[in-house]
Structure 1
Amino acid sequence: MTSGSGLTDASLMLHVRPRQLLLLARLDAHRHLGRAAEAMNISQPAATKLLQQLEDSLGEKLFERLARGMEPTPYGEILIRYARRVLSDFGSAREEMLALRSGLSGSLRVGSVPGAVPELLAPALVEYHRRHPQVAVSVVVETSDVMQAQLEQGDVDLVLGRLTDGHDEAKYASVPLLGESQVVVVRTTHPVFERATVTLAEMANWSWVLQPPGSPQRGRFEAAMREAGIQARLDIIETASPIAITALLENSDMAAVMPASQASHYARLGVLRTVPVELPVRVPPICLVTRQDRALSPAAAQFRRQLLGGA
């Protein structure tokens, strides 16, 4: 991209010095060149020169000189926001470097949908805890809509789930990590396995354990039933608790819908078994979701790097 001065962004960055960005942040805080210079431990003429050089490089006036101080121009407001982000990111990087040098400590709060636990979250947390035993780790397992609200409120550092409708996607960074099919599961001794075949229409007469309304899985399951021409009202118990789902299935002929990896986990334990029927339910991939406007703690930032394949 080319600036108004004719220079590319990369060339223009060579003319922008860290001290100039620090001066912008101090000027925004003090709105007075002398006090900003004092906060940087430099002379006022030196501060004046730094600001003038920056304005000359960018070809824009960044501050209005007033009788009792200085006010940023609209161009100055833009560059002040950039300077703040640079300084904040540098501070976060320094914190992470110091934390890694001394051994990570603090806390890590992870929110996850049930489907991410067996294949994604559990292996990652075991390895993370091995590397960083001093970090206190807590995990909340809920549906994506509940996890999204907890991330919004700051109750968790990051989420393994899906962005749901009604949230401002610009606030979040979302990286797909796990995509898989949904399957129907029942107890291992369910009478359905005595039959040669089973259809979706026949399963509409079963009793179900489904996630609460608002969860992506629930909405897509009900949409798939309607698209298949099944209008019958389903017999449903609602819960997002994995232990409640498995306990209900073990003690009844009810059925549930879950990701294939989660079903495989319970099958290995001899608890549940997948019904041999194709379920026309496609849900978006499970993503690593973080806030764009909130810096992660060193402990959370390291876990994010690990999930994304970093060291």
Structure 2
Amino acid sequence: MIDKLEMFIALANERHFGRAATSVGVTQPSLSSAIRQLEDQLGVQLVFRGSRFQGLTPEGQRVLDWALKIVGDARTLREEMRALKRGLSGNLRIGVIPTALPVTARLTVQFLDRNPNVDLTLLSRTSYEILDGIDRLELDAGITYLDNEPLGRVTQVPLYREGYRLLVSETRPEAKLPSITWAEAATLPLCLLTGDMQNRRIINHHLTEAGAFAHARIESNSTLALISHVTTGKWVSIVAHTLGDMYTEGSGLKALPIVGAEERHIVGLIAAYREPYTPVLNALIEQARKVSWI
């Protein structure tokens, strides 16, 4: 039953029989057969079928909710038994908002030092993608904003407060200023993150509070792309202080404090609110509490 539920979850995530089969390492006929067997066992139709996957039935959506809980608990049980036998081992998949990537090592390095048989997969994701990935068991944890938009029922460990800087080339006249206001920043040639990024929504909020509107002629979901444009001297960007600190030393760039940006948003570790946690995830949560620098 557990194997069939895992295949059903894969199908719900991929929304394609072939891709779902590949993700769980079986053939497409084997996956299709497992889904039909699950339907027979439960006595309901789970999937609308045609020439291709057409979505879950209402009953299928309800079964998916149960499947996520049952499979999550089964994985926790397996990992706990493995930990009792072999110690902590395995792989943790962590989604990280782009602005937090420069400081993630403050948590991960100490965690890996204490747990030499654990591997980490760090994935750059938007805040929405992190929540969705945790819900669908595609991510074990996330590092994201805690206080700006609703998170739902998750475990939260605050890590740090994010401030904001205007990142400019030292060749620009603004580089000589000690600071700048949000309204002044809005008049400059800005390149910013795309609107699906929560950092961009936070920046837009601060600009609106200052009575300003910024038209960013360049948008990207990559902070590296923004910084590469700033280095030309033709563009500036508003970035999290974590990025400003990383890219200003010896780079020909300067990060100016933005006056009126005293409000700092909390970034932290989140995980699905499920107890008991897997031993490896529990160790990560405990390590996050130890290294929190708020």
TM-score bracket for the superposition, by shorter chain length: 0.5 to 0.7
Which residue does the alignment assign to 1:19? none
> AA paired with 2:139?
V
Which residue does the alignment assign to 1:146? 129
Tell me the C-alpha RMSD between the 2 structures: 3.4
Residues 184-219 of structure 1 show CA distances to partners (whole Å, capped at 9, x for unaligned) of 212343332246775443322222222222433222
Which residue does the alignment assign to 1:247? 228
1:253 is paired with a residue whose SS is coil
Which residue does the alignment assign to 2:107? 124
Count matched residues. Answer: 221
> AA paired with 2:237?
A
Which residue does the alignment assign to 1:172? 154
User: Given the alignment, which residue of 132, 136, 141 partners 2:119?
Assistant: 136
> AA paired with 1:157?
D
Residues 146-203 of structure 1 show CA distances to partners (whole Å, capped at 9, x for unaligned) of 322222222211011125888661x312232211322221234333224677544332
Matched, 1:288 2:269: yes
Which residue does the alignment assign to 2:95? 111
- TM-aligned CA distance change 1:280 to 1:165, over 3 Å: closer
State whether residues 103 and 132 of structure 1, in contact with CA within 8 Å, keep that contact through their aligned partners in structure 2.
Answer: no
Structure 1 CA distance, aligned partners of 2:197 and 2:272?
A: 20
> AA paired with 1:234?
H
Matched, 1:220 2:192: no
Q: How far off is 1:108 after superposition? A: 1.0
State whether residues 220 and 283 of structure 1, in contact with CA within 8 Å, keep that contact through their aligned partners in structure 2.
Answer: no
Larger radius of gyration: 1
Matched, 1:189 2:171: yes
> AA paired with 2:169?
R
Structure 1 CA distance, aligned partners of 2:204 and 2:149?
A: 20
2:116 is paired with a residue whose SS is coil
- TM-aligned CA distance change 1:229 to 1:173, over 3 Å: same
Which residue does the alignment assign to 2:186? 204
Which residue does the alignment assign to 1:274? 255
Structure 1 CA distance, aligned partners of 2:191 and 2:84?
A: 44
TM-score, normalised with respect to structure 1: 0.59
Which residue does the alignment assign to 1:158? 141
Which residue does the alignment assign to 1:40? none
Structure 2: 5+ residue runs without aligned partners?
Answer: 1-68
Q: How far off is 1:300 after superposition? A: 2.4
Structure 1: 5+ residue runs without aligned partners?
Answer: 1-83
Q: Indicate the percent of aligned positions where both proteins have the same amino acid.
A: 23
Q: Which moved more, 1:269-278 or 1:137-146?
A: 269-278
- TM-aligned CA distance change 1:143 to 1:256, over 3 Å: farther
Structure 2 CA distance, aligned partners of 1:281 and 1:289?
A: 24
> AA paired with 2:235?
M
State whether residues 178 and 256 of structure 2, in contact with CA within 8 Å, keep that contact through their aligned partners in structure 1.
Answer: no
State whether residues 181 and 260 of structure 1, in contact with CA within 8 Å, keep that contact through their aligned partners in structure 2.
Answer: yes
Which one has a larger percent strand, Structure 1 or Structure 2?
2
State whether residues 194 and 220 of structure 2, in contact with CA within 8 Å, keep that contact through their aligned partners in structure 1.
Answer: yes
Structure 2 CA distance, aligned partners of 1:164 and 1:154?
A: 23
State whether residues 115 and 259 of structure 1, in contact with CA within 8 Å, keep that contact through their aligned partners in structure 2.
Answer: yes
Structure 2 CA distance, aligned partners of 1:281 and 1:220?
A: 13
Structure 1 CA distance, aligned partners of 2:107 and 2:178?
A: 40
Structure 1 CA distance, aligned partners of 2:270 and 2:179?
A: 40
Structure 1 CA distance, aligned partners of 2:193 and 2:158?
A: 22
TM-score, normalised with respect to structure 2: 0.62
> AA paired with 1:111?
G
